Amino acid sequence: MKPDISSCNNAAQVKRLIEKYFDNIKGEYHHEQKPVKNSKDNAETIEHKIWDREPEPATLSGLALALGFSSRQEFNNYIQNGRFAPAVKQGILRVEACYEAHLHQNTTGAMFALKNMGWNEKYEPSPTNTEAGNILNVKLFNSGPPPADSEKDVQL
């Protein structure tokens, strides 16, 4: 049985699980020497990277599965009340950083993912807690003659 967050006794163990997830999604590869085309007697070779397991994008669901959660709801509950929630929140922040890094490449997909993670499209300054910030000043003024009740009342 693979270790999960329920078997962790401290935040360092949770961080190791998160690090293991991020190492795993990098994929696995090996190098092979291949002869260079048009070289004399195929004596010249070049090293090629051969993927044994392709890299995967970082996802919240992938992180939740790697930590042993069986649902997003269970994962979200743990983030709110879990014993090692700060360590898990750092893992979530790393996933967000991966998407943020892709904003310059494929903005639509990255923006969609970040919005689902709670990001906002526009900057919204936090509301002030002073009384002056809670007062709405309204000024009433006349903007001209009152409107007519019907067309018959209008004179040109």
Is residue 103 assigned to a domain? Answer: yes
Q: How many independent structural domains does the chain possess?
A: 1
**Whole-prediction pTM:** 0.64
Tell me if 100 sits within 8 A of 114, measured CB to CB: yes
DSSP of 31-90, one letter per residue? EEEEEPTT-GGG--EEEEEEEEE------HHHHHHHTT-SSHHHHHHHHHH-TTHHHHHH
Is residue 15 assigned to a domain? Answer: yes
Domain that holds residue 64: 5-26+57-121
Report phi then psi at 67, rounded to 5. Answer: -85, -5
Is residue 132 assigned to a domain? Answer: no
Q: What is the pLDDT of residue 131?
A: 58
Is residue 89 assigned to a domain? Answer: yes
pLDDT tens, residue order, the chain (156 aa) = 677 899 999 999 999 999 999 999 999 999 998 887 776 666 788 888 999 999 999 999 999 999 999 999 999 999 999 999 999 999 999 999 998 887 777 677 777 777 877 887 766 666 655 555 667 777 766 767 777 788 887 776
